[in-house]
Amino acid sequence: MSNGSFYIAYEYAQTAGSKFTIKLAWSQDGIFWNAGKVIADSAGSMGNRHPTLIERHDGNLQVIYFSDRTGSYQLYTSTSGDGIAWAEYGPLGVSGPAINPFLIVVPEGGYAISYQRYQSNPSSSRGSYFAHSADGITWSSQTQVSERALPRLMKAEGGPYMMTYQGGTTGTDFDIRYKTSADGATWSGETRLTHTGNSHDSFPMELNNGTFMVFFATAISNQYDLFSKWSDDMVEWSADRHIPTYNTNHDTQPHACQVALNNSILIAWGYE
């Protein structure tokens, strides 16, 4: 955050059969965290899931997530000025059923999301979508970017969007892939970013020095570990770099931010 503190939004279920809630935790140093505050309580048959959190242009917090409370998967968003009181909006006006939203601040103004259209008909309408908004609440018409799944989005400052997502066609090429766009309407051809045969959960970002990074999880000997790649131009990419976590769990869903004080990178992830 611009005030030097850290916030994280996450989904929480008390037991394996419980509905999910969205919670917010905060920290002054990124190491020791205060107890989570409920943003969105349980609803529908499964609750609320898959949040992403931003600091808006006006300094307020905004989180986006999905729920089946209307009987089908739809996107919702909540905003707060203090992290305690939240105002919810939704369902958002995007083509559904919609899951796995990812919300970003557009440096030049406004907001953008990627999300996955799920179980829609015809099947060719499923996959990864892009939408833009001036205020983060009302969303423009959507653009289908790919028929693949779990999209994540970034916008280079003064440069293009990059959407990463996952999928394959042969059963042995399930990898991270991406497309770029100058305006969110017309997208490049697809580029395969990883070549492991089993990579998931991408997270793209731009560092303060203009370097682009993608974090992801790859299965190594039947265990998921965290990796990253970097690029100066979104064209030529480094080799996969292993991020040691020193455990024997499945490490997945990496999310990263850069600390303004010393330009270090803070990564949060899930494991089982």
pLDDT tens, position by position, 18-32: 899 999 999 988 889
Stretch (H or E) spanning 163? strand 161-167
**Per residue in 144-162, pLDDT tens?**
999 999 999 999 999 999 9
What residues are paired with 190 via a beta bridge?
A: none
Judge whether residue 110 has pLDDT over 90: yes
**Structure confidence at residue 244 (pLDDT):** 92
Q: Which residues, in sequence order, are CB contacts of 145 under 8 Å at separation 6+?
A: 114, 127, 128, 129, 130, 151, 163, 165, 179, 181, 187
**Per residue in 171-194, pLDDT tens?**
789 999 999 999 999 999 999 999
Q: Based on the number of CB atoms within 10 Å of its own CB, is 188 exposed (0-12), middle (13-18) or buried (19 or more)?
A: middle
Per DSSP, 47 falls in state: B
Cβ–Cβ < 8 Å for 94, 82: no
Judge whether residue 113 has pLDDT over 90: yes
Across 36-50, 87-101, 137-151, 154-168, least confident range: 36-50
**Structure confidence at residue 247 (pLDDT):** 85
Angstrom CA distances, 61 to 77, 204, 209, 240, stand at 11, 20, 25, 33
What residues are paired with 194 via a beta bridge?
A: none
Picking from 74, 117, 79, 116, the residue whose alpha carbon sits closest to that of residue 92 is: 74
> In this predicted model, which residue has the larger pLDDT, 249 or 195?
195
Judge whether residue 34 has pLDDT over 80: yes
> To the nearest 5 percent, what fractions of the chain are helix, strand and coil?
0, 50, 45
**Structure confidence at residue 176 (pLDDT):** 98
**In the predicted model, what is the mean pLDDT of the chain?**
93
